[in-house]
Structure 1
Amino acid sequence: MKAPFAASVLIPFYTIAAAQFLLPTTNFPIVLQGGGSCCDDRSFDRTGCDSHTEPGTGWSCFRRFWVGEQSSAGHSRPQLARRLNLPLLVLYGLGVTVGAGIYVLIGEIGHAAGVFSPYAFLLAALLIAPTTYSFAKLVVRFPVSAGEARYVEEGYRQKWLAIVIGLLVASAGIVSSATISVGSIGYVQEFIAIPSPLLVTLIIVVFTGLAILGIQASAIAAAVLTLIEVGGLLLIIGGGFVSDTPAIWAGMKAPFATFEFHAIGLVSASAVLAFYAFIGFEDMVNVAEEVKEPEKIFPPAIAITLLVTVVLYFLVSTISISLVGQEELGKAGAPISLIAERTGLISPDLLSGIGVLAALNGILIQIIMASRVLYGLSRQAEMPQFLAYVHPRTHTPVTATVIVAAVTLVLALAFPLARLAETTSQITFVVFTLVNGALIAITLREAGWKLAQVPSFQIIAIPAFGAVGAVGLMLVSLV
Structure 2
Amino acid sequence: MASGEETPSSSSEPTLARTMGLGALTVYGVGDMLGAGIYGLIGKAAGVMGNAVWLAFVMSMLVALLTGLSYANIGSRYPRAAGAPYVAHRAFRAPFISYLIGLGVAASGLTSMATGARIIAGYVQTLGVRWPTELLVIAFLALLTLVVFRGMRESTWMNILCTTVELSGLLIVIAVGVGSWGSVDYLETPPPAAQGDAAAGLTVGLLLQGAVLTFFSFIGFEDILNVAEEVKRPRTTLPLGLLLALVIATVLYILVAITAVSVLPYRELSQSKAALVDVVRKAAPAFPPLLFTAISIFAVANTALLNYVMGSRLLYGMSRQGLLPARLGRVHPVRRTPHVAILVLGVLVLALALAGDIRQLADATSLLLLGAFVVVNGSLLVLKLRPGEPRGAFEVPVGVPAVGALVCLVMIGGRVLGHEADVRAPLIAGGILVGIALLYVLQRPKYVVLEEEPERP
TM range (shorter): 0.7 to 0.9
Match of 1:237 among 170, 174, 195: 174
Q: Kindly provide the CA deviation profile for residues 386-438 of structure 1, in whole angstroms up to 9, marking residues without a partner as x.
A: 43456799775444333222311222133222221111111111100000010
Q: Using a 3 Å threshold, how does the CA distance of structure 1 residues 304 and 262 change in structure 2: closer, same or farther?
A: closer
Deviation at 1:369, TM superposition (A): 2.5
Deviation at 1:355, TM superposition (A): 1.1
User: Are the aligned partners of 2:72 and 2:394 in contact in 1 as well (CA < 8 Å)?
Assistant: no
Which whole-Å CA distance do the structure 2 matches of 1:444 and 1:319 have between them? 45
What one-letter code is carried by the residue in structure 2 that aligns with 1:377?
A: M
Given the alignment of the two structures, is residue 191 of structure 1 paired with residue 131 of structure 2, yes or no? no
1:426 maps to what in 2? Answer: 367
3-state DSSP class of the match of 1:321?
A: helix
Given the alignment of the two structures, is residue 47 of structure 1 paired with residue 7 of structure 2, yes or no? yes
2:224 maps to what in 1? Answer: 284
Q: Using a 3 Å threshold, how does the CA distance of structure 1 residues 216 and 88 change in structure 2: closer, same or farther?
A: farther
User: Are the aligned partners of 1:95 and 1:358 in contact in 2 as well (CA < 8 Å)?
Assistant: no
User: Are the aligned partners of 1:146 and 1:377 in contact in 2 as well (CA < 8 Å)?
Assistant: no
Q: RMSD of the alignment, in Å?
A: 3.4
Bigger mean CA offset, 86-95 vs 102-111? 86-95
What one-letter code is carried by the residue in structure 2 that aligns with 1:47?
A: T
Q: Using a 3 Å threshold, how does the CA distance of structure 1 residues 399 and 459 change in structure 2: closer, same or farther?
A: farther
Deviation at 1:287, TM superposition (A): 4.4
2:272 maps to what in 1? Answer: 332
Q: Using a 3 Å threshold, how does the CA distance of structure 1 residues 83 and 360 change in structure 2: closer, same or farther?
A: farther
Q: Kindly provide the CA deviation profile for residues 11-53 of structure 1, in whole angstroms up to 9, marking residues without a partner as x.
A: xxxxxxxxxxxxxxxxxxxxx8xxxxx7xx8xx74329xxxxx
1:473 maps to what in 2? Answer: 411
Match of 1:439 among 374, 380, 391: 380
Match of 2:114 among 153, 157, 178: 178
Q: Using a 3 Å threshold, how does the CA distance of structure 1 residues 290 and 401 change in structure 2: closer, same or farther?
A: farther
Deviation at 1:362, TM superposition (A): 1.1
Q: Using a 3 Å threshold, how does the CA distance of structure 1 residues 474 and 107 change in structure 2: closer, same or farther?
A: same
Bigger mean CA offset, 461-470 vs 370-379? 370-379
2:251 maps to what in 1? Answer: 311
3-state DSSP class of the match of 1:47?
A: coil
Q: Kindly provide the CA deviation profile for residues 253-279 of structure 1, in whole angstroms up to 9, marking residues without a partner as x.
A: 668xxx966533212221110111111
1:208 maps to what in 2? Answer: 145
User: Are the aligned partners of 1:116 and 1:267 in contact in 2 as well (CA < 8 Å)?
Assistant: no
Q: Kindly provide the CA deviation profile for residues 338-384 of structure 1, in whole angstroms up to 9, marking residues without a partner as x.
A: 11122136443322221111111110111123223323433544223
Which whole-Å CA distance do the structure 1 matches of 2:338 and 2:151 have between them? 9
Q: Using a 3 Å threshold, how does the CA distance of structure 1 residues 396 and 357 change in structure 2: closer, same or farther?
A: same
Given the alignment of the two structures, is residue 405 of structure 1 paired with residue 338 of structure 2, yes or no? no
Report 1:18-37 matches (<5 A): none
Which whole-Å CA distance do the structure 2 matches of 1:199 and 1:222 have between them? 27
Q: Using a 3 Å threshold, how does the CA distance of structure 1 residues 406 and 98 change in structure 2: closer, same or farther?
A: same
Q: Using a 3 Å threshold, how does the CA distance of structure 1 residues 376 and 245 change in structure 2: closer, same or farther?
A: same
Which whole-Å CA distance do the structure 1 matches of 2:258 and 2:369 have between them? 26
Which whole-Å CA distance do the structure 2 matches of 1:222 and 1:454 have between them? 28
Bigger mean CA offset, 224-233 vs 173-182? 224-233
3-state DSSP class of the match of 1:103?
A: helix
Which whole-Å CA distance do the structure 1 matches of 2:297 and 2:394 have between them? 45
Deviation at 1:160, TM superposition (A): 1.3
User: Are the aligned partners of 1:286 and 1:372 in contact in 2 as well (CA < 8 Å)?
Assistant: no
3-state DSSP class of the match of 1:228?
A: helix
Given the alignment of the two structures, is residue 461 of structure 1 paired with residue 394 of structure 2, yes or no? no
Deviation at 1:134, TM superposition (A): 1.5
Deviation at 1:231, TM superposition (A): 0.8
Which whole-Å CA distance do the structure 1 matches of 2:156 and 2:320 have between them? 22
User: Are the aligned partners of 1:101 and 1:277 in contact in 2 as well (CA < 8 Å)?
Assistant: yes
2:206 maps to what in 1? Answer: 266
2:309 maps to what in 1? Answer: 368
Q: Which segments of 5 or more consecutive residues in structure 1 lack a partner in the other structure?
A: 1-31, 33-37, 49-69
Structure number with greater Rg is: 1
Q: Using a 3 Å threshold, how does the CA distance of structure 1 residues 198 and 238 change in structure 2: closer, same or farther?
A: same
> What is the TM-score of this pair, normalised by structure 1?
0.75
Which whole-Å CA distance do the structure 1 matches of 2:231 and 2:339 have between them? 19
Which whole-Å CA distance do the structure 2 matches of 1:408 and 1:79 have between them? 32
3-state DSSP class of the match of 1:113?
A: helix
Which whole-Å CA distance do the structure 2 matches of 1:197 and 1:261 have between them? 36
Match of 1:224 among 161, 164, 170: 161
Q: Using a 3 Å threshold, how does the CA distance of structure 1 residues 175 and 455 change in structure 2: closer, same or farther?
A: closer
1:125 maps to what in 2? Answer: 61
1:169 maps to what in 2? Answer: 105
3-state DSSP class of the match of 1:372?
A: helix
Q: Using a 3 Å threshold, how does the CA distance of structure 1 residues 169 and 119 change in structure 2: closer, same or farther?
A: same
User: Are the aligned partners of 2:52 and 2:187 in contact in 1 as well (CA < 8 Å)?
Assistant: no
3-state DSSP class of the match of 1:217?
A: coil
Which whole-Å CA distance do the structure 2 matches of 1:433 and 1:334 have between them? 33
Deviation at 1:297, TM superposition (A): 4.1
Given the alignment of the two structures, is residue 343 of structure 1 paired with residue 303 of structure 2, yes or no? no
Percent identity over the alignment?
A: 33
What one-letter code is carried by the residue in structure 2 that aligns with 1:325?
A: P
Which whole-Å CA distance do the structure 1 matches of 2:202 and 2:69 have between them? 31
> What is the TM-score of this pair, normalised by structure 2?
0.78
Q: Using a 3 Å threshold, how does the CA distance of structure 1 residues 457 and 78 change in structure 2: closer, same or farther?
A: closer
Given the alignment of the two structures, is residue 136 of structure 1 paired with residue 72 of structure 2, yes or no? yes
What one-letter code is carried by the residue in structure 1 that aligns with 2:211?
A: A
Deviation at 1:99, TM superposition (A): 0.8
| Aligned pairs, number | 404
What one-letter code is carried by the residue in structure 1 that aligns with 2:410?
A: G
Which whole-Å CA distance do the structure 2 matches of 1:173 and 1:153 have between them? 21
User: Are the aligned partners of 1:146 and 1:375 in contact in 2 as well (CA < 8 Å)?
Assistant: no
Given the alignment of the two structures, is residue 95 of structure 1 paired with residue 31 of structure 2, yes or no? yes
Deviation at 1:152, TM superposition (A): 0.6
Q: Which segments of 5 or more consecutive residues in structure 2 lack a partner in the other structure?
A: 190-198, 418-457
Bigger mean CA offset, 402-411 vs 459-468? 402-411
What one-letter code is carried by the residue in structure 2 that aligns with 1:268?
A: L
- Structure number with greater CO (CA < 8 Å, separation at least 6) is 2
Which whole-Å CA distance do the structure 2 matches of 1:281 and 1:330 have between them? 27
